[in-house]
């Protein structure tokens, strides 16, 4: 069963208008964070640690490009537009690095929204009744962090995004997004 949740991550320009970028946030980058999560399955529990490195937030021009693609043409145009952007960081799980292409920060609450142009991993893919992986071609991470880089968040490690007038809808391959505990990397 696919679970969707409306996210306030503002992948589209209309949503970002309500949450402008914090003045001077570019000066707090590059930033490296360590995020840990726990996955529970019928086989038991496992933990994972991700390294998230953000060189900079995405440029407004690139944000508009991917936002317009999602709003006017849906996910089929959004994903190629996202993939065409330059990498602005990475998410590392074990030895595998996945490029970050999307990074925006909201002013109202120190929320950092990140997106990759490839899935990071498929939670539940080994199960006998697992759904097909096709179409879950990116990852979405939302982090609420303080000035020191500590906080919490969620990750949809294999996801797709749909346009909605109320804000984008993230559809997660897993039953629900994984909770993250975040700390500034040492």
Count of domains for the chain: 1
User: Is the predicted pLDDT of residue 104 greater than 90, yes or no?
Assistant: yes
Per-residue pLDDT reduced to its tens digit, 123-167: 877 776 777 888 999 999 999 998 888 999 999 999 999 998 887
Residue 28 falls within a domain, yes or no? no
Beta strands in the chain (DSSP E): 3-6, 31-41, 44-54, 89-93, 96-106, 111-116, 138-145, 151-162, 169-172, 178-184
Per the structure, the complete domain to which residue 79 belongs is given by 3-18+47-184
Residues 6+ apart with CB under 8 A from 138: 79, 82, 115, 116, 117, 118, 119, 158, 159, 160, 161
Q: Give the mean pLDDT of 37-42.
A: 78
* Distances from the Cα of 13 to the Cα of 108, 163, 178, angstroms: 16, 11, 26
Mean residue pLDDT across the chain = 83
Which of 175 and 85 is assigned the larger pLDDT? 85
Question: What's the confidence (pLDDT) of residue 125?
Answer: 77
In a domain, 31, yes or no: no
Judged against a pLDDT cut of 50, whether residue 25 lies above it is answered with no
């Amino acid at each position: 069963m696919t679970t969707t949740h409306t996210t306030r991550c503002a992948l589209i320009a209309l949503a970002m208008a309500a949450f402008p970028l914090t003045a001077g946030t570019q000066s707090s980058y590059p930033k490296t964070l360590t995020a840990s999560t726990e996955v529970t399955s019928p086989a038991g529990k496992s933990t994972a640690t991700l390294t998230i490195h953000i060189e900079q937030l995405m440029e407004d021009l690139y944000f508009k490009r991917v936002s317009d693609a999602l709003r006017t043409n849906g996910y089929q145009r959004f994903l190629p537009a996202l993939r065409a952007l330059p990498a602005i960081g990475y998410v590392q799980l074990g030895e595998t690095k996945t490029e970050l292409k999307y990074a925006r920060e909201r002013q109202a609450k120190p929320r950092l929204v990140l997106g990759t142009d490839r899935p990071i991993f498929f939670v539940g893919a080994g199960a006998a009744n697992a759904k097909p992986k096709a179409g879950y071609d990116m990852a979405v991470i939302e982090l609420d962090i303080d000035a020191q880089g500590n906080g919490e968040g969620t990750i949809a490690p294999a996801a797709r995004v749909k346009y909605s007038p109320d804000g984008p809808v993230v559809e997660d391959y897993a039953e629900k997004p994984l909770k993250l505990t975040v700390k500034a990397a040492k």
